[in-house]
Amino acid sequence: MSELKSLGKPTRRVDALEKVLGTGRYTHDLKIPGMLVAKVLRSPVPHAEIVKLDVTPALKVPGVVAAITSEDFVDHGNWGFPVKDDYMLAYKKVRYVGDPIAAVAAETEEAAEAGLQAIVLELKELPAVFDVHEALKPDAPILHEELAKAQAEETTSGELEDAEFIEVHGKGNLSETLIVRQGDPLSKLSECDVVLDAAYSVAHQEHAYLETEAALAVPTADGGVTVFVGDQNPFITLSNLVMTLGMPGKVRVVQSPHTGGAFGGKSDMVYETAAQAAMLAIKSGRPVKLVTSREESMIASYKRDAMEMRYRLGATKDGRLRAAKIECWADSGAYASMTPFTSWRATIHAMGPYHYEDCHVDMMCVYTNNGYSGAFRGFGNTEVTAASEQAIDELAEMCGMDPMDFRLKNCVELGDTLPFGQKLEYSVGLKQCLERVRKISDWDRKRAEYSRQPAHQEIRRGIGVASFFHGLSLGAEGLDFAEHTIRLGEGNKFEILTGLSDFGQGSRTVFSLIASEVLGFPVERFQWLPCDTDVVQECGPTVASRSTILGGNATRLAAMRLLTQLYDAAAMMMGCMVPEVRQEGEVFYGPAGQRVTLDELIAYARANHIPLSAKARWEMPRIHWSFAKGRGVPYVAYHFGAQVAEVEVDRRTGVTKVLNIYAVHDVGKVVFPQGIRGQIIGGISQGLGYALMERVEFEKGYIQNPNFDTYLIPTAADMPVVTVEFVESELPFGPFGAKNVAEPSMVPTAPAILNAIYHATGRRIRHLPANLERVLLGYDLKDTVTTTVCQVGVCERAKCEL
Amino acid sequence: MEIRFTLNGKPTAVDVPPDITLLRLLRDYLDMTGTKCGCEIGECGACSVILDGEVVNSCLVLAPQVEGRRVVTIEGIRGPDGGPNDLQEAFIEAGAIQCGFCTPGMVVAATVLLRKHGYPTREQIIEGISGNLCRCTGYQQIVEAIQMTVLRRGGLPEKEEHA
């Protein structure tokens, strides 16, 4: 590859200036004349039948202009993907504390609040279930009776063509089962010299994006509605709006210029917020703004699923992995949301990037009345890697091996086959990541030194490692494409049109850099625009760390086509043939010494009606995974990486201070250095929170910590010094070789820290988070005492007939 | 009630209900939306402003409390040409900004930190911004931006402490 001019060079974030000046607008900041304020009535109980719901008294409250329930939506606002089990406002039943029931729009916040108070709501509370194992018992209360009935009919009809191994469809509260199958690990385990059998668990994690969910809906002249939001896919918001509002062709979704973080969290809950605001705008004929409070957001929004995992791993005594039998239960909560997909990704990654002869993974997605779970950075892989990388460490110790050596001995390399039948054909830099992180962390010296700390020493240090892989983009989940347009805009800048959102990760800058590289113009020549469904093409969701690969390739192809147009125009302008045109940056030359600047060329194109606008679509290579057989090709390729954590634990208090984290990631190619470093360090901060402090405390379905005073996330004082390096094993079809980075950055952090704590203290903490009690006592006080259920936050007034 | 105070150096009078916070006054009555609302309980720091030289969470200050006092918001933090000042430039250059929602509060906190300490150490910087939550960056590039500003203002390079 020839020398790169723009990629990998120090560059500023293209949308940073207005953020640092405070002039950039977020959905929270939008305001238009005549705007009403909306508020939502939410369920005060975890599981109940709606006996009576009457919003007409709310309309009599001064200032209240509109009030809605599920009756106002098409098909009661039923929606959900991949399982259509949710409602824009609850229909017949509520299934978690915070489930939206009704919404009002009013002139002021006070009037809206009074409107909610006036709504007549009678609930008949139903038995609820808060534990995945309890939920699977035959006598457990069923959350989705109709779905369960339909599933029962479906499975008895015997039409599942591919179901020779397992019925993938659920029964009762089991929404889905996902599997990986190779050989017979249980018999293999009985032949292994060394066998580990251990249970691990991870807790619900809150996204804690600093901007809570919000939407501004504005009625349009044609009787439709335009909705301004900050979400992860304006086209999914759009299709859900069209489906539930029932006005095809009259709905438009526009993303606000900026969105205050997402991390997987700005999907389902934002679709509901958008639909509620839109329906209120249609009913009232006025613009309606709906902003959730922090408590409301934390109670009502989906979380990273809690997961229970049992790992049985077997190896030879000299440390060669042979078999893995892994069983997991994911707490889906009240709705499926993304849990079937996060759980699928979890099954694929549950055994880690290692060789096994035989491997089975079974993942059960289970409905409970604990809020609901969905997408969050890492998307299932963060959960299983927290367990698998501890299990690997435990097995290494049983074999008497250094954890780094054990991983190097078993890790996959180019040409190897993963334990579901996929041959690794591209870009496998795991070994290099491990070797490099070993060196930069000074692993061998520190590991030996900390292993020699005297037993009586109270303040102890430890060092731990975790390695991992993470499949690119959506994989076999579905069609995977992006379509971008680069067109001439105001001020002779080229606008990059994309349906992929930038809520801070830096994709606008990545696309500008790629366009700059292809066209040879400086980054400043390009202009970003917020996604608008009337303007841009559908690009699929901004999830799965897919923007750089999908959007990057679409940008690259569109830029190449635009370059062709520019050369055509330049040849015409200079009166020569296209192959005679030469370009240096923003200047084009002809064979006879002609010289035309880009601005002159643009002026010529405008005057002669030559369009300068090119679009291009890029699609991932198609692959197939058999969900019924648990084999196939789940992702075309993978990100690989390893992180080392160094901790200091005070054994008298349980305080764990993370001193250093060394992160080496195989990203294919660094496109935007400042951005990619930010992704890694930011991901590590979320992984550190996951390891040490973050847990949404559900107490009989009620969240006990709904704001930042009780749900703690890392502050500047909690962060270690992070050292980041990259391995660039170029992906042949990545844009300039680039792979994914956003999600993978946090995946190995928690197990690296947990392994370091074990090294420091000799106490293995298999249940996250490793809070003070668990580090100090070895168990959580919460598990040993009965706490009183505190019904926090949600509409304490609700007229429940309990 | 009418509240009179100095906002970003300009005398300001605004008629608001007496029971609203300074945050609401700024955002809802003056449309100064650079100051963000993140938690409304004084935990996240997104609403940080400078009140008589001190950083405060504007969600914890009642509007009438600012009567006769000086308030500086992100809109009042600018370089001599009205563009970004050196600290804000450093934020851009160091990669201290991702989603940007915490950024105004961070800049406000760092402004007061630099004014108070002159040339703060890394520890003082971390302490100075530890009341401001950022979910995107992991803070390191924010700390680096502030260190970069300290250096450029003539502070001595601090020896990095690596364990």
A156 token code pair? 């008895």
Which among A619, A647, A670 is the end of a domain?
A619
Question: Over the stretch B35-94, which tens digit does the pLDDT of each residue have?
Answer: 999 999 999 999 999 999 999 999 999 999 999 999 999 999 999 999 999 999 999 999
Question: Over the stretch A313-325, which tens digit does the pLDDT of each residue have?
Answer: 999 999 999 999 9
Q: Which residue of B has its CA nearest to A257?
A: B99
Residues 6 or more apart in contact with residue A716 via CB below 8 angstroms? B125, B126, B129, B130, B132, B134, B139, B142, B143
Indicate the pLDDT class of residue A171, thresholds 50, 70 and 90.
confident
**By the 8 A CB rule, do A748 and A466 touch?**
yes
**Residue A632 pairs with which residues in a beta bridge?**
A625
Q: What is the ipTM of this complex?
A: 0.96
Which among A300, A321, A349 is the end of a domain?
A300
In whole angstroms, what is the distance from residue A478 CA to residue A472 CA?
13
Please tell me whether residues A408 and A503 are part of one structural domain: no
So what's the architecture of B86-152 in CATH?
Answer: Orthogonal Bundle (1.10)
User: End-to-end CA distance of chain B, in Å?
Assistant: 56
- In this structure, the number of other CB atoms found within 10 A of the CB of residue A425 comes to 12
The 3-state DSSP class for residue A764 equals coil
Strands B54-57 and A721-727, by their bridges, are unpaired
Whether residue B144 is predicted with pLDDT greater than 70 in this model: the reply is yes
The 3-state DSSP class for residue B30 equals coil
Question: Over the stretch A541-568, which tens digit does the pLDDT of each residue have?
Answer: 999 999 999 999 999 999 999 999 999 9
Pick from B34, B44, B107: CB nearest A210: B44
Question: Over the stretch A685-718, which tens digit does the pLDDT of each residue have?
Answer: 999 999 999 999 999 999 999 999 999 999 999 9
The 3-state DSSP class for residue A221 equals coil
Interchain proximity B137–A685, CB inside 8 Å: yes
Indicate the pLDDT class of residue A801, thresholds 50, 70 and 90.
very low
In whole angstroms, what is the distance from residue A426 CA to residue A430 CA?
12
Q: Is residue A6 part of a domain?
A: no
In whole angstroms, what is the distance from residue A279 CA to residue A70 CA?
10
Interchain proximity A13–B92, CB inside 8 Å: yes
Q: Which helix (H) or strand (E) holds A116?
A: helix A109-118
Question: Per-residue pLDDT averaged across A112-126, rounded?
Answer: 98
Indicate the pLDDT class of residue A624, thresholds 50, 70 and 90.
very high
What is the rounded average pLDDT for all residues in chain B? 95
Q: Is residue A13 part of a domain?
A: no
Indicate the pLDDT class of residue A155, thresholds 50, 70 and 90.
low
Percent of chain B with pLDDT over 70: 95
User: End-to-end CA distance of chain A, in Å?
Assistant: 70
Question: Over the stretch A159-169, which tens digit does the pLDDT of each residue have?
Answer: 444 433 344 45
CB of A445 within 8 Å of a chain B CB? The answer is no
Q: Quickly tell me which residue has 């008298």 as its tokens.
A: A652
Question: Over the stretch A345-359, which tens digit does the pLDDT of each residue have?
Answer: 999 999 999 999 999
**Cα separations in angstroms, A286 against A59, A63, A114:** 15, 13, 19
B-chain residues within 8 Å CB-CB of A717?
126-127, 130
Q: Is residue A200 part of a domain?
A: no
Amino acid letter, residue A612: L
Question: Per-residue pLDDT averaged across A674-692, rounded?
Answer: 98
**Cα separations in angstroms, B60 against A787, B24, B48, B72, B130:** 30, 11, 10, 16, 17
Whether residue B128 is predicted with pLDDT greater than 80 in this model: the reply is yes
CATH topology identical between B2-74 and B86-152: no
Q: Which of B78, B125, B136 to mutate to test the interface with A (most CBs of A within 10 A)?
A: B136
Please tell me whether residues A610 and A667 are part of one structural domain: no
In whole angstroms, what is the distance from residue A308 CA to residue A329 CA?
5
Provide the edge-to-edge strand list for the sheet that holds A288-291: A64-68, A100-106, A36-42, A288-291, A214-219, A225-229, A251-255
Interchain proximity A13–B97, CB inside 8 Å: yes
Strands A698-699 and A702-703, by their bridges, are antiparallel
CB of B113 within 8 Å of a chain A CB? The answer is no
Confidence (pLDDT) at A781: 82
Q: Is residue A428 part of a domain?
A: yes
Q: Is residue A2 part of a domain?
A: no
Indicate the pLDDT class of residue A439, thresholds 50, 70 and 90.
very high
Q: Give the structural domain span for A548.
A: 488-531+542-619
Cis peptide before A44 (omega within 30 of 0): no
Q: Where are the domains of chain B?
A: 2-74, 86-152
Please tell me whether residues A634 and A574 are part of one structural domain: no
CATH number at residue A245: 3.90.1170.50
Please tell me whether residues A615 and A493 are part of one structural domain: yes
SS3 letters for A708-750?
CCCCCCCCHHHCCEEEEEEECCCCCCCHHHCCCCCCHHHCCHH
Whether residue A157 is predicted with pLDDT greater than 80 in this model: the reply is no
Q: How many domains does chain A have?
A: 3
H-helix segments, A303-359: 339-349
Q: Which of A11, A14, A15, A19 to mutate to test the interface with B (most CBs of B within 10 A)?
A: A19
Q: Is residue A801 part of a domain?
A: no
Question: Per-residue pLDDT averaged across A634-655, rounded?
Answer: 97
Please tell me whether residues A360 and A252 are part of one structural domain: no
Interchain proximity A681–B141, CB inside 8 Å: yes
Question: Over the stretch A266-308, which tens digit does the pLDDT of each residue have?
Answer: 999 999 999 999 999 999 999 999 999 999 999 999 999 999 9
Whether residue B118 is predicted with pLDDT greater than 80 in this model: the reply is yes
Q: How many residues does chain B have?
A: 163
Give me the torsion for CA of A629, A632, A634, A639, rounded to 10°.
130
Please tell me whether residues A288 and A435 are part of one structural domain: no
CB of A678 within 8 Å of a chain B CB? The answer is yes
CB of B158 within 8 Å of a chain A CB? The answer is no
**By the 8 A CB rule, do A338 and A374 touch?**
yes
Indicate the pLDDT class of residue A639, thresholds 50, 70 and 90.
very high
CATH code of the domain made up of B2-74 = 3.10.20.30
Q: Is residue A116 part of a domain?
A: yes
Indicate the pLDDT class of residue A784, thresholds 50, 70 and 90.
low
Q: Which helix (H) or strand (E) holds A553?
A: helix A552-574
Give A 399-438 residues with CB within 8 A of chain B.
none
In whole angstroms, what is the distance from residue A715 CA to residue A724 CA?
20
Question: Over the stretch A480-531, which tens digit does the pLDDT of each residue have?
Answer: 999 999 999 999 999 999 999 999 999 999 999 999 999 999 999 999 999 9
CATH number at residue A586: 3.30.365.10
Question: Over the stretch B4-46, which tens digit does the pLDDT of each residue have?
Answer: 999 999 999 999 999 999 999 999 999 999 999 999 999 999 9
Please tell me whether residues A703 and A724 are part of one structural domain: yes
Q: Quickly tell me which residue has 């994690």 as its tokens.
A: A205
Give A 198-227 residues with CB within 8 A of chain B.
207-212
B-chain residues within 8 Å CB-CB of A708?
38-39, 41, 43-44, 133
In this structure, which long-range contacts are made by residues A414-417, counting pairs with CB atoms below 8 Å and at least 24 apart in sequence?
A416/A355
Cis peptide before A530 (omega within 30 of 0): no
